[in-house]
Structure formats: structure tokens, C-alpha cells
């Protein structure tokens, strides 16, 4: 960690983090507010009218509890896509943009070593994701407490959000590895996010019908089973751990390539 650089980069990354946080908090609060039996019936009607569309966005089942309702409408799609956008923006801002503009030459010209430099930049990304997860959890709990006191078990939501954070680490690891390892700037900017978008699309398709259900086996996103994690199922916990560990491995892989590669800046 290089503290002056970490502070500088964190300042520049706070705005996109705040924007994404505001959007997901808004969605979370609205969805928690929608946990109303009357509205639930109308949503059920809509879902019955367009079952494939709802399934594609991970909203096949409304659930019977507030936790199931939140997981169904939030964690299946929105809490995958918005953090992915943030991870792509931050990986671009912290690595690709410096290489593209040539400002990486000034950072590399300081006596800090590439491994420390890239670890510091990765630290900013992870810190922003932790910030997003923390703020989201706090607002979800507050909204649930205010609107439906006693309906949500806080520890269950926290565990689910930790597992979701593992998924974010994996997605940002893919973006990070691409940003650090690929020598071509457009490729470094887009390959990681394109691979993640492909995972999301495959998962959406897998929910559309039984004949495409097998696609769920080929996307790492299916390793996240929020309700399974909340109920302490071993498979769900192992899946979340696998996402977190492979995400961390991708960060290490990206950093390792970055320390060895030629930087013609």
C-alpha cells in the first residue's frame, strides 16, 4: 500500500462509487417498500403474464418472506450488474487510463516497485466495493426496520451480502486481470467487462426455460446462492468462497503480469 497514492486514487474513485451506491440503495429501498401483499399480488400477475422475462432477470419466485423477496428482486440481477459497472469503471480509472494517458510513467518513476503500486491500486477498488456493500447493507437494514420491523433477520441479510460481495470480488477480479495483463488499451478496457457481461447473459438465458437451464452450469455466477448461504448450506457457502478465492487469485494474477510486462510509455 502506498498511502499518498491510495488517498489520491480513493478521492478520484469516490464519485463513481457514490453514484452506483445511490442507485443500488434507491432500488433496494424501493424493492423493500414493494414488499406489500397487495402490490405483491399485482407483481405476481405481471410475473404470470411474462414468466420468461421475470425469470431472465432472476425474479422467478417472489418468495414468502421479506428476505426471499429482496433476494429475488435485487440479488439476481441488479446487485450483479451495477457493481460490475462500478468494477469496470474503477479498473479502467486505476490502471488502463494511466497507461493510455502515459501518467503511469510518473507513477513507475517513483521508488515504490510495481507490485506495491498495483497492490495499492487494487486496494482502492476493493475498498470501494467494501464501502458499497457496507452502505447497501446499512440502508437495507434501516429500510426493512423502518417499513417492516421484525420481518428481516439482520444476520441473514449480512451473510447474503458478504456472499454477494464475494461475487463482486470475482467480477472485479476478471476486469482487473484484463486491465493489468492485456497490452492493448481497448482490450484492457473491455475484455474483462465483456467476459462478465457474457456470464450475466448466460445466466439470464439459463432462467428463461428448461431447455436452456443447463447454461447455469457454465456461468460462475450460479455459484452464488444467497438463500442457501443464509440457511448455511455447505454447497452455497463453498460456492461463495470459490467466487471470493478465484476473484482474489485473478487480482494476484493481474498484478503478477503487470509487474513483469513491458510498459512502453
Partner 1 sequence: MTAGKAGAAISVRGLTKDYGRGRGVFGADLSVASGEVLGFLGPNGAGKTVTMRNLMGFVRPQSGTVEVLGHDCFRDRPWVQARLGYLPGENACMQEMSARSFLDLMAGMRGMRDRSRMLELADAFGLDLGARIGGMSKGNRQKVAIVAAFMARPDVLLLDEPTSGLDPLMQERFLDLVAEERARGAAVLLSSHIFEEIGRACDRVAFIRAGRVVMTCTMDEARSMRGRGYTVEFSSARERSRWEHAHGAEPAEGDARGVELSDVRDVNALIRELSLYDVASVTSREQTLEELFLHLYEGAEPSWQS
Binding map of partner 1 across residues 163-192, x = CB under 8 A, - = no contact: ------------------------------
262 binds partner 1 per the rule CB under 8 A: yes
Residue closer to partner 1, measured from CB, 15 or 130: 15
Cα distance between residue 264 and residue 98, in whole Å: 12
The residue among 156, 135, 161 whose CA lies nearest residue 224 is 161
Write the DSSP assignment of 18-42 as a string of letters: HHHHHHHHHHHHHHHHT--HHHHHH
CB of residue 231 to partner 1, shortest distance in Å: 47
Report how far apart, in Å, the C-alpha atoms of 87 and of each of 92, 130, 175, 193, 217 are.
Answer: 8, 12, 7, 9, 24
Those residues with Cβ within 8 angstroms of residue 78's Cβ, 6 or more apart along the chain or in another chain: 24, 27
Cα distance between residue 22 and residue 102, in whole Å: 32
Q: Which stretch binds partner 1 (CB under 8 A): 121-129, 206-214, 231-239, 256-264?
A: 256-264
Of residues 94-123, which lie at the interface with partner 1 (CB under 8 A)? Answer: 101-103, 105-114
15 binds partner 1 per the rule CB under 8 A: no
Residue closer to partner 1, measured from CB, 12 or 134: 12
> Binding-site residue total for partner 1 (CB under 8 A)?
24
Cα distance between residue 135 and residue 129, in whole Å: 10
12 binds partner 1 per the rule CB under 8 A: yes
Residue closer to partner 1, measured from CB, 96 or 229: 96
Of residues 19-58, which lie at the interface with partner 1 (CB under 8 A)? Answer: none
Residue closer to partner 1, measured from CB, 44 or 105: 105
Residue closer to partner 1, measured from CB, 111 or 150: 111
CB of residue 131 to partner 1, shortest distance in Å: 21
The residue among 212, 211, 216 whose CA lies nearest residue 199 is 216
Cα distance between residue 38 and residue 18, in whole Å: 33
Interacting residues toward partner 1 by CB under 8 A: 2-5, 8, 12, 101-103, 105-114, 260, 262-265
Amino acid at each position: 500500500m502506498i498511502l499518498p497514492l491510495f488517498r489520491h486514487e480513493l478521492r478520484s474513485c469516490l464519485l463513481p462509487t457514490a453514484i452506483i451506491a445511490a442507485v443500488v440503495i434507491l432500488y433496494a429501498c424501493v424493492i423493500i417498500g414493494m414488499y406489500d401483499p397487495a402490490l405483491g399480488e399485482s407483481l405476481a400477475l405481471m410475473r404470470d403474464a411474462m414468466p420468461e422475462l421475470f425469470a431472465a432477470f432472476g425474479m422467478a419466485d417472489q418468495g414468502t418472506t421479506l428476505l426471499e423477496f429482496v433476494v429475488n428482486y435485487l440479488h439476481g440481477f441488479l446487485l450483479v450488474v451495477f457493481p460490475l459497472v462500478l468494477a469496470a469503471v474503477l479498473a479502467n480509472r486505476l490502471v488502463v487510463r494511466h497507461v493510455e494517458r502515459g501518467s503511469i510513467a510518473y507513477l513507475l518513476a517513483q521508488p515504490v516497485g510495481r507490485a506495491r503500486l498495483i497492490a495499492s491500486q487494487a486496494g482502492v477498488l476493493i475498498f470501494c466495493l467494501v464501502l458499497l456493500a457496507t452502505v447497501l447493507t446499512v440502508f437495507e437494514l434501516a429500510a426493512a426496520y423502518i417499513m417492516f420491523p421484525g420481518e428481516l433477520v439482520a444476520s441473514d441479510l449480512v451473510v447474503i451480502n458478504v456472499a454477494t460481495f464475494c461475487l463482486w470480488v470475482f467480477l472485479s477480479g476478471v476486469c482487473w486481470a484484463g486491465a493489468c495483463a492485456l497490452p492493448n488499451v481497448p482490450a484492457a478496457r473491455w475484455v474483462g467487462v465483456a467476459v462478465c457481461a457474457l456470464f450475466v447473459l448466460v445466466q439470464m438465458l439459463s432462467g428463461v426455460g428448461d431447455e436452456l437451464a443447463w447454461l447455469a452450469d457454465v456461468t460462475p455466477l450460479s455459484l452464488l446462492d444467497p438463500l442457501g448461504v443464509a440457511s448455511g448450506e455447505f454447497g452455497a457457502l463453498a460456492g461463495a468462497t470459490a467466487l471470493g478465492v478465484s476473484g482474489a487469485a485473478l487480482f494476484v494474477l493481474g498484478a503478477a503480469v503487470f509487474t513483469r510486462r513491458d510498459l512502453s510509455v
